[in-house]
């Protein structure tokens, strides 16, 4: 897993329209080794530095300890997708794209839904 140092300056893709919506940090790990989960939760601080008030930062971490679980069995992922589909998410933070799914077609679907709704995805410190 390639982890880049997160940017401190707000990327140009993030506009005030994005910061008026939620910044969602999606935390997923099959095993809590401490470092990975902590690093994922720390993405909430990055959202704050990029302009989201604490009240609009949501950390979804209920999918911990579900190795290989399909999306339909991950309530946190379903919550993230429901919020995104409703147009309520400005940016979704994940440590890396594999946190969304191990299956490339599922990742592509998640990105498509996000793009349709104007939601940015920040993975590995890169905003898409």
Q: Which residues are catalytic?
A: 30
Query: Rounded to an integer, what distance in angstroms lies between the CA atom of residue 14 and that of residue 72?
Result: 30
Cβ atoms of 38 and 45 within 8 Å: the answer is no
Look-up: residue for tokens 């679980």? 69
Give the 3-state secondary structure of residue 116.
helix
Cβ atoms of 24 and 83 within 8 Å: the answer is yes
- The radius of gyration of the chain from alpha carbons, rounded to an integer in Å, stands at 13
Cβ atoms of 28 and 66 within 8 Å: the answer is yes
């Amino acid at each position: 897993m390639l982890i880049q140092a997160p940017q401190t300056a707000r990327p140009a893709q993030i506009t005030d329209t994005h910061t008026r919506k939620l910044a969602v940090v999606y935390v997923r790990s099959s095993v809590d080794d401490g470092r990975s989960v902590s690093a994922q939760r720390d993405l909430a601080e990055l959202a704050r530095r990029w302009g989201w008030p604490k009240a609009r930062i949501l950390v979804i971490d209920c999918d911990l300890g579900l190795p290989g679980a399909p999306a339909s069995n991950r309530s946190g992922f379903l919550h993230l997708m429901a919020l995104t589909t409703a147009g309520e998410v400005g940016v979704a933070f994940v440590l890396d794209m594999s946190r969304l799914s191990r299956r490339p077609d599922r990742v592509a679907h998640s990105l498509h839904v996000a793009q349709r709704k104007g939601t940015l995805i920040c993975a590995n410190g890169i905003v898409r």
